[in-house]
Structure 1
Amino acid sequence: MAELVTVDDPEDPRLHDYTSLTDVELRRRREPAEGLFIAEGEKVIRRAWQAGYGMRSMMLSAKWVDVMRDVIDAAPAPVYVVDPAVAERVTGYHVHRGALASMRRKELPEPRELLAGDRPGPRRVAVFEDIVDHANMGAAFRNAAALGVDAVLLTPRCADPLYRRAVKVSMAAVLAVPYARFASWPEDAGLLREQGFVLAALCLSDRSVTLDELAGRRHERLALMLGTEGEGLSDGALRAADVHVRIPMEAGVDSLNVAAASAVAFYATRPGT
């Protein structure tokens, strides 16, 4: 059974994992280096625990102790019970949900390992290029989970999917979809081709086919490539692609937000359609 400890001092070193959660640059450096990520809210904490992530600690307001009792009893980690005012001073914001957990990261697989997988291996994957907005990252992962994408590949500059906001927006879907990060891009696009994937770039292009046409080809292994929120896919990624694909638009709109585009692409290419 976990130890319950009431903490009144926001400077208490035992709360170190939860300090300055609103400082994005600090947390982006600290969390991977220290092997942790923050789960916020009852549902996200439960899903992280159920997904097999180890727990370092929990920080709860008193009203959440009974609600989280089953997790507290199951997780061999200390539980710090704090007043909401203390939680705000520690984290830098008002913790509306009153429940935070510091979870242990898992070691990421290598892209080649992820793509090979157990037989038959992944058939449909997403490649996110330089997506740096954590909300878009979380939403795109949630779309991938909901619409049956087997795995996600990230380019080196992509945001951390385990950053608190990304995990929260995804409703913990980032914990359910296998993912890996390329060491070099677009050079590593060849790893996809080696495994028999057709690389389909979502873009505005003179030579693009419609999404319906791509879906109708029923490729055995398909990698859907989506680019940054502003500029879209890089020239290098477009050159690496086997096919350019567009989502037909009306009313003078030329493109969708990357998270919305991912949902449309994942739905249109799902197996059996």
Structure 2
Amino acid sequence: MAELIEITDPADPRLADYRDLRDVELRKSLEAERGLFLAEGAKVVRRAAAAGHRARSFLMAPRWLAGLADVLDASDAPCYVISEALAEQVTGFHVHRGALASLERRPLPTVAEVLDGARSVLVCEDIVDHTNVGAIFRCGAALGFDAVLLAPRCADPLYRRSVKVAMGTVFAVPWTRLPDWYDALPALERAGFTTVALTLAEDAVEIEQAVAGVDRVALVLGSEGHGLSERWQQTASRRAVIPMHAGVDSLNVAAATAVACYVTARRSPAKVSP
């Protein structure tokens, strides 16, 4: 059972995991160095605990203790109980969801482990916005995708903002980082996936056509600015586009992911030879 510890001093060193949460660069280096990540909000904290992530500590306003009593009962980590005003002073923002948890990161699985048994996966190249990464995970989870693969320069799915936007689905969808950016898509092809790149390339076909009859599919998504690199566009086996109207040429990557996942999840089945 978690020990409840009331803290009234914002400089208390036990609150170090929760300081300056708005400073992205500081948090990225600190969390990597300490091997931790933060979950915000009762629902996300609960999902992280259910996924087996070990808590280092909890930070809660008194009114949230009862709602997370079962999570606290199952943990031996300390729970720091502070006022909401003090929480804002420590973290740098108003913690309106009332509960935070600092949890231990686990070693990432291999690509082969993540792909084992998967039929539909998302592959992200250089998506650097944490909000977009979280939204992509949420779309994939909601629409039945089995895994997410991230190029080395993608934003961290376990950064607090990503976890929050994903509503904790980063704990439910298997994911890892690709060790080899250059030949990542050919490697997926060898693993039995048809790679479908979302792009405005001239030879791109409508997404419904691109995924029709495909058994194991990997939807390939590009960065927020210029989209997919030329290398990934050329090494994908198919290029697909979402039809647009009213002079709009593209959607935000998170919105495009939602549309593409919806279409792909309802693709016609692969033909089986007699």
State the TM bucket, normalised to the shorter chain: over 0.9
Residue 36 of structure 1 deviates from its aligned partner by: 1.0
- Which stretches in structure 2 are left out of the alignment for 5+ residues? 269-274
Q: Relative to 1, partners in 2 of residues 1:222 and 1:272: Cα closer, same or farther, differing over 3 Å?
A: closer
1:49-198 to 2 correspondences below 5 Å: 49-115=49-115, 117=116, 121-198=117-194
Q: Distance in 2 between matches of 1:167 and 1:269?
A: 24
1:209 corresponds in structure 2 to 205
Return the letter of the residue paired with 2:155.
Answer: A
2:230 corresponds in structure 1 to 235
2:14 corresponds in structure 1 to 14
Match of 1:269 among 257, 264, 273: 264
Residue 226 of structure 1 deviates from its aligned partner by: 0.5
2:38 corresponds in structure 1 to 38
Residue 272 of structure 1 deviates from its aligned partner by: 5.9
State the identity as a percent. 54
Q: Distance in 2 between matches of 1:66 and 1:150?
A: 34
Q: Which runs of 4+ in 1 moved over 4 A?
A: none
- The yes-or-no answer on 1:219 pairing with 2:202 is no
Return the letter of the residue paired with 2:76.
Answer: P
The Cα offsets for residues 248-267 of structure 1, whole Å up to 9 and x where unpaired, read as 11111100110011111111
Q: Distance in 1 between matches of 2:158 and 2:124?
A: 15
Residue 32 of structure 1 deviates from its aligned partner by: 2.5
2:196–2:211 Cα contact (<8 Å) kept? no
2:139–2:261 Cα contact (<8 Å) kept? yes
Residue 164 of structure 1 deviates from its aligned partner by: 0.5
Moved more, 246-255 or 88-97: 88-97
DSSP 3-state at the match of 1:77: coil
2:197–2:239 Cα contact (<8 Å) kept? yes
Return the letter of the residue paired with 1:78.
Answer: P
Q: Distance in 1 between matches of 2:194 and 2:67?
A: 47
- Which stretches in structure 1 are left out of the alignment for 5+ residues? none
Q: Distance in 1 between matches of 2:145 and 2:168?
A: 15
Residue 97 of structure 1 deviates from its aligned partner by: 1.2
1:112–1:191 Cα contact (<8 Å) kept? no
Return the letter of the residue paired with 1:159.
Answer: A
State the Cα RMSD in Å: 1.2
Moved more, 185-194 or 16-25: 185-194
The Cα offsets for residues 83-111 of structure 1, whole Å up to 9 and x where unpaired, read as 12221121111111111001111211121
Residue 240 of structure 1 deviates from its aligned partner by: 1.2
1:186–1:240 Cα contact (<8 Å) kept? no
1:245 corresponds in structure 2 to 240
Q: How many residues align?
A: 268
Residue 189 of structure 1 deviates from its aligned partner by: 2.3
The Cα offsets for residues 128-169 of structure 1, whole Å up to 9 and x where unpaired, read as 111111111111100000001110000010000011011101
TM-score by length of 1: 0.95
DSSP 3-state at the match of 1:225: strand
Return the letter of the residue paired with 2:188.
Answer: L
Q: Distance in 2 between matches of 1:257 and 1:102?
A: 31
DSSP 3-state at the match of 1:201: strand
Return the letter of the residue paired with 2:260.
Answer: A
The Cα offsets for residues 14-40 of structure 1, whole Å up to 9 and x where unpaired, read as 111111111100111121231111010
DSSP 3-state at the match of 1:101: strand
DSSP 3-state at the match of 1:103: strand
Q: Distance in 2 between matches of 1:123 and 1:243?
A: 17
DSSP 3-state at the match of 1:122: coil
1:199 corresponds in structure 2 to 195
Return the letter of the residue paired with 1:245.
Answer: A
